[in-house]
Structure 1
Amino acid sequence: MLIGEVARRSGVSVRMLRHYDAVGLLRPTGRTVGGYREYSPADVRRLFHVEGLRTLGLSLAQVRDALSDPGFDPSALVTDLVRATEERLERDRELLARLRTVDAAGPGTWAEVADVVGLLRELASATAGRRQQAALAAGDGPALPAEVLARTLLAETDPHAAGALRWALRRAVARAGDPDGAAVAALAAGLRSGDPGVRRRAADALADAAPSPAAHAALVDALADPDPVVRRRVATAVGRAGGVGAVPELVAMVRAGVDDVEAAEILALLSHEDPATTGHVLAALTRDLDGTDPATRIRVAQALVELPGPGPQDVLRRLADDTDRTVALVAGAFAERRV
């Protein structure tokens, strides 16, 4: 079979067949009287083997080694190809994400493209100080999408850089909003992370975010987080937004003496907004109160001062007769203040 017919039947160009011959990958078995290449059926089969291996991403040298070495291990080669392809795909995904970020920033000139690329590079710096400076620049510089800032924040372990990123995220949302909810969705996904640090950063950012049903729902779900720091941060945000589901955690904060003044303030606000909540708050604050230490009873007394209705006054009067003198004096003073 002459070279032209082989090209027609195989779909491999005459030029490529000649190149295969030149590099020793596929040499035709014979020649015609006139000196033309003549391919045997075995040559054609080898050609299809060559083309098949090339579709797997092998170089011509790798194809030649595979076909010429009787002891060649195809499984090892395929494993190497899988790993190399995965690495290439990961690089391509990173490039695609970078291109989408630049595109979303809407640069009008090549100089603006360079600014966005430079900012992204600095946000990925190995130095925390440079990441912090980049985050501050993002707040006033190129308009990076809020989703990019949210994802960068979730991955940021340095507290100073994370604080700067939260500020930049707030600025980005204030300037362009979060029209497709991608930033809130990224933060909500962060609340489901197995890393408590990621969940804490997500909770802080969602607490800072502009109110939205999606953000509020994500925070409410996180009230059951196993990490007490996350629960406290979420309860503060949910409570300030009027969510009565935060009451148990806010009460726990008062009784434990962790951000208790802020927690008591929020409990009072919730009680004034909905009188039915007052009984719930009062019952939670005073549950098993006699078995607590004096410091806890004093914090509860302080929280009762701002609650509406007669119930808190009755508890304060009872605490005014407490066996601990300090508790009695504090509760008595608060009871007189409410009269």
Structure 2
Amino acid sequence: MGISNLSPCLVYGLMGLCAFLSVSHSLTLDYYAKTCPTVLQVVRKEMECAVLSDPRNAAFVVRLHFHDCFVQGCDGSVLLDDTITLQGEKKASTNIHSLKGFRIIDRIKNSLESECPGIVSCADILTIAARDAVILVGGPYWEIPLGRMDSTTAGYELADANLPSANEGLLSIISKFLYQGLSVTDMVALSGAHTIGMARCENFRERIYGDFEATSNDGNNPISKSYLDKLRSICPPVGKAAENNITAMDNVTPEVFDNSYFHMLMREEGLMNSDQELYSSLLGMETRALVKKYAAEPLAFFQQFSDSMVKLGNITNYDSYFTGEVRTNCRFINT
């Protein structure tokens, strides 16, 4: 049935709904200008304290933001604890041992509830905090559109389905980014966040007892051999006791956000299989070219990372605009 055959009321009703959707889904830079004008300063102050106390906190918060946005969109669902009626995402296999930094978000939320109660969503807090985390360890600045709502649901099964894993192949990883509306360029740039942070033995064991020697300059580079020996001392080939042993993903400047990660890939010293695939995969002509570009041009990497983080932050959970809320506690749905 064409729109001309619909009743005028229904036509105008549909037009109104479309207008409402357009307005509701619009994020703006000045969203809190009148309701909570100090939001950016409050988040920045708390993040400064967190990163000063432990630079690894920067990577924790960036990872939280990424894992949030890839499951149901950027809606704060990753922050929800399990309850009798809700299974959160924290205990999904891709999250249970890899996510930290929840208490940082709790502290920011508590400060904002004192400043402007019931106004700033946990999803927006996480988005701002991730940006500030990158800046505080030497990375680029970008403007953040705001106005997200907090989801009242979580995506336990989606966490395992949507999030890339450490040993995943390049095409599979690309498909997961494309599913979120992110391009191959976005994928390579966002992978550059691995220039900060740590990885668990469980996530790089397959790499260091697999193709590391074969891809590291034919195994003849003494620096690569020394690095491999170090990794194997941290992560033996078998044994669950060592699975939580950690090492830096960037072995050169682990606490500085720079383009060192891409130089590691070109030396074929990427820590995890999913990292090295960007450069070494036979299917990765486009990704290899981007790795070379960002290794040679740090400013190009910073600019693309900023643009890609905005795109990541704009992945939307449309349901949250109808059923969402501004949580007073980021761990629980409002009662």
* TM-score using structure 2 length: 0.26
Higher relative contact order (CA 8 A, sep 6+): 2
Higher helix share: 1
TM-score of the aligned structures, taking structure 1 as reference length: 0.25
